[in-house]
Structure 1
Amino acid sequence: MLYLKRRGRKDPLYAQKLSERFGRYRRDVSNPVWVHAVSLGEMRSATPLIRALLAQGETILTTHFTPAGRREAEREFAEEIAAGKVQTVWVPFEYGFTYRRFLKHFAPKYGLVMEIEIWPRMIMACRKQGTPLFMCNAQYPLKSFEKDQKGLGLRAALVAGFAGGFVKSEGQKSRFSAVGMRNIHVTGELRFDQPIPQHHLKAAAACRNALSKGRPSFTLTSVVEGEDALYIDMIRQTDGVLFTYVPRAPERFDEVAQMLETAGLRYARRSDLLDDDLGLNKPAPDIDVLLGDSLGEMYFYLGLCDRAIVGGGFVPKGAHNVIEPLALKKPVVVGPHIWTIEYPATEAIAAGVCQLVPDEAALRAEVRAPTPVTDTQITSFYDSHAGGVARTLAAIPNALGR
């Protein structure tokens, strides 16, 4: 509660609808398919699968821990929420009684936990209630896997408590199997099937030249705390390039703006420069940086660039999604810490569509003289990894024993 109160000072949604955190909800859907997408990235990966489940006639309940995930669900499925086909709520606090209330209230058919979220009470309550709970779009990063082989191995034991898993690759299957998970199905990466909002691309095309003024353009996506000094220093030392700078967390927008100001960079905020429809509401100024201070508009920001630099790779917590830029045929640059996106980053690097740079000097060199990448390379790589939604839909009945 103290954590939520503190976070609520920057984002009031953290401190709203607190009764849901204790397992008390209104009921808009009954006997739904439950999708747990803790935050923004997980929600985006879940979106194409949810669309496919809705097309099969299912009702959907999504649970989240962060406002970013909840807002994305409410934005993406606004029509379905209004029609009573989708409901979004906070996931309960990690107590047995909260999950008993949650499961009794909604009686979900089964649960899909996106990526690798492991909550002991959630797992145990579902087993006791008889609610099948699966990992979905799951990966078991090597760093976590090796750590779990040591000591008491408690997390590994909890992994075995799931009813099964829909995992990204054969390599991931072998890791999950090694810690005792059964009923594992290789379904690929759902993000390859994400819908692309065409109005974002049209808006980007309409204002790209006005902003770049003929310069090469890079978009820095999902930049996390701890990387800003490196990226801002790189921007200061790079002439003749437009950078679009998109922090991952909305509570950091003002902080990053101040950093750009202090660095003496010419910048403009998306909220000042563009209207609600992503059109320029004033003549484009001469800027070095467009600060992307909005949520849910990543494809617009990517539409402005020639290449993307994916954030997170220069801190130990690890890099974020490389798939969105590749979907738009934008070559990708990542820092050295890619353990969080081992699949598909390793495959993308091998295919030559993603460049791994070990340090700031290598990053500057790649920006100044980008490695050649063709649209054909990216298309071939992307097409070979798409189809995760169809494979997951086909695997669900088998996983349930139907």
Structure 2
Amino acid sequence: MKPRPPSMRLFFAAYSLLWAVVLPLVLVYFLRRGRKDPLYARHLAERFGTVPAPLPGAVWVHTVSLGEFRSAVPLLMALLARGERLHITCMTPAGRREAETILADRIASGAAIVTWLPLDMAWTCRRFLKAAQPKAGILMEMEFWPRLIETADRLGVPVFFGNAQYPEKTFQRDNRITRPLGRAMGLAAGAMVKSDLQRERFSARGVAPVHVTGELRFDQPVPAHLVRAGQALRESLHAAARPVVTIASAIEGEDDLLAAAIRMTRELQPETLFVYVPRAPERFDRVAAILQDAGLAVLRRSDALGPDLGPKGDLPDDVQVLLGDSMGEMYAYLAMADRVIVGGGFVPKGAHNISEPLALSKPVWVGAHIWTIAYPAQEALAAGVLQILPNDPAKIAAAMTTGPAAPDDDVRAFFADHAGALDKTLAAFDALMRGAASPDAASSAPRP
């Protein structure tokens, strides 16, 4: 077990007190969210550390939501192919549904389970780890739950950060305000990070060893059936010769700006078809109303298309916006596009994944807030395969009517240069596991 200086012990005491205060509010949050998505309010016992059907000795991988789970898919499949069993934890219904869908066969065969992550309290984390008995844990992307990591270290369960990044805003916040929180990261058993910059940041917090493994999203398999379905759908919407712009993963706070940009784009180029894909399913109805209130002719995927994205009947030829109100079909919506705007970056919450449109060689634009995707956004900007848009609907419209629209060899080359993270991650995981199993590491903590 790693040492805990007095400042860290004081931090965890205050952290426990904070959880005692906010726990009722957290429960109310789950119940209220459950009115929009019932899955939020189901399996509540798992939020308190219950594991209904544990797989002792499994590799536990935490993927907070949909994007994190998708980024982990190459790693998960490789671990399964090596004979590992998996325990996946999530925080959101979108992530859990995707995990249960993608891993359905493995769950049925007893090779994988999916549960909620426990709330970050000492007794819930201890209960979870003792019930699950994982051989190791991997927290994907930006996930850091201090009590969970502290408890795992205390119980001798090695926990690693995977496909990890430490965003600039969070890093600076921990420098200025929450230093004990940052130092608690050092209780992890190691990290697999996206870039040299991220290695420096994790090392500064005492995390060791740290391996640079790249971005797993560049190794995600592209589902060919969705690409074909998107191309066929473009034909069905009479858009083979029309410019098509896909707005992917738009989040709350961006819709009015983007609706105005769509309207202005159509004033400049009336034949343009937009495909609008909100980030969260609970927002589908609200986004449809915003687009319609902007005077746009909206066709909802759920109304007009069947399970295979084929038309249920004749489609109108005057569609201005196709609303992608579905989950798990992003590659189809991207395959339709000449240009792609990735959402999130027009508000301070930060931009979402750009690797999927890059995988299809699509020109990509994002808003100015790219701290959440520092890698690979900075590298993509330097390579000229990503562009920043201001929060100005007229300038967005100008970019959509004059910017590059054809697949670009530079995009293909950039994507190829940044692939290969899976092999590096597997090698790093094996090295970290060997280090965790060394006599010095093994003798430093009791097993659960």
Common fold: TM-score over 0.5 = yes
Shift of the 2–41 alpha-carbon distance from structure 1 to 2, 3 Å rule, reads same
C-alpha displacement of 1:28: 4.9
- Partner residue of 2:341? 309
- Partner residue of 1:166? 192
1:81-230 mapped onto 2 (5 Å cutoff)? 81-213=107-239, 214-230=241-257
- Partner residue of 2:284? 253
The answer as to whether partners of 1:212 and 1:242 remain within 8 angstroms in 2 is no
The one-letter code sitting in structure 2 at the alignment partner of 1:41 is G
1:330-358 deviation line (CA, Å, top 9, x unaligned)? 11011111111010011111111111122
The answer as to whether partners of 1:245 and 1:291 remain within 8 angstroms in 2 is yes
RMSD over aligned CA atoms reads: 1.2
1:280-295 mapped onto 2 (5 Å cutoff)? 280-285=311-316, 286-295=318-327
- Partner residue of 1:54? 80
- Partner residue of 1:393? 426
SS of structure 2 residue aligned to 1:296: coil
C-alpha displacement of 1:384: 0.6
Distance in 2 (alpha carbons) for counterparts of 1:156 and 1:23: 25
C-alpha displacement of 1:372: 6.4
C-alpha displacement of 1:373: 6.3
Asked whether 1:326 is paired with 2:386, we answer no
- Partner residue of 1:79? 105
C-alpha displacement of 1:73: 0.3
The one-letter code sitting in structure 2 at the alignment partner of 1:133 is V
The one-letter code sitting in structure 2 at the alignment partner of 1:368 is T
- Partner residue of 1:233? 260
The answer as to whether partners of 1:307 and 1:332 remain within 8 angstroms in 2 is yes
Distance in 1 (alpha carbons) for counterparts of 2:170 and 2:319: 42
Distance in 2 (alpha carbons) for counterparts of 1:338 and 1:61: 31
- Partner residue of 1:356? 388
User: Identity percentage over the alignment?
Assistant: 53
- Partner residue of 1:375? 408
The one-letter code sitting in structure 1 at the alignment partner of 2:411 is I
The answer as to whether partners of 2:87 and 2:112 remain within 8 angstroms in 1 is yes
Distance in 2 (alpha carbons) for counterparts of 1:23 and 1:145: 29
More helix by share: 2
C-alpha displacement of 1:118: 1.4
The answer as to whether partners of 1:27 and 1:105 remain within 8 angstroms in 2 is no
The answer as to whether partners of 1:36 and 1:113 remain within 8 angstroms in 2 is yes
Q: Which runs of 4+ in 1 moved over 6 A?
A: none
The one-letter code sitting in structure 1 at the alignment partner of 2:313 is K
Distance in 2 (alpha carbons) for counterparts of 1:47 and 1:342: 21
Distance in 1 (alpha carbons) for counterparts of 2:101 and 2:238: 29
C-alpha displacement of 1:159: 1.6
1:225-281 deviation line (CA, Å, top 9, x unaligned)? 000010000111122211100000110000001111211110110001110111111
C-alpha displacement of 1:209: 2.0
C-alpha displacement of 1:150: 0.8
Distance in 1 (alpha carbons) for counterparts of 2:56 and 2:171: 36
Distance in 2 (alpha carbons) for counterparts of 1:110 and 1:309: 37
Distance in 2 (alpha carbons) for counterparts of 1:207 and 1:21: 41
Asked whether 1:271 is paired with 2:297, we answer no
TM-score w.r.t. length of structure 2: 0.88
Structure 1: segments with no counterpart, 5+ residues: none
Asked whether 1:346 is paired with 2:372, we answer no
The answer as to whether partners of 1:134 and 1:165 remain within 8 angstroms in 2 is yes
SS of structure 1 residue aligned to 2:36: coil
The one-letter code sitting in structure 1 at the alignment partner of 2:277 is V
The one-letter code sitting in structure 1 at the alignment partner of 2:257 is L
Moved more, 260-269 or 373-382: 373-382
Structure 2: segments with no counterpart, 5+ residues: 1-26, 438-448
SS of structure 2 residue aligned to 1:98: helix
Moved more, 344-353 or 319-328: 344-353
Distance in 2 (alpha carbons) for counterparts of 1:108 and 1:252: 36
The one-letter code sitting in structure 2 at the alignment partner of 1:334 is V
The one-letter code sitting in structure 2 at the alignment partner of 1:199 is H
1:42 to 52, 55, 68: 68
C-alpha displacement of 1:171: 0.9
- Partner residue of 1:242? 273
SS of structure 2 residue aligned to 1:237: helix
- Partner residue of 2:443? none
The answer as to whether partners of 2:346 and 2:368 remain within 8 angstroms in 1 is yes
1:305-347 deviation line (CA, Å, top 9, x unaligned)? 1111000111011100000000011110111111110100111
Shift of the 348–10 alpha-carbon distance from structure 1 to 2, 3 Å rule, reads same
The answer as to whether partners of 1:40 and 1:69 remain within 8 angstroms in 2 is yes
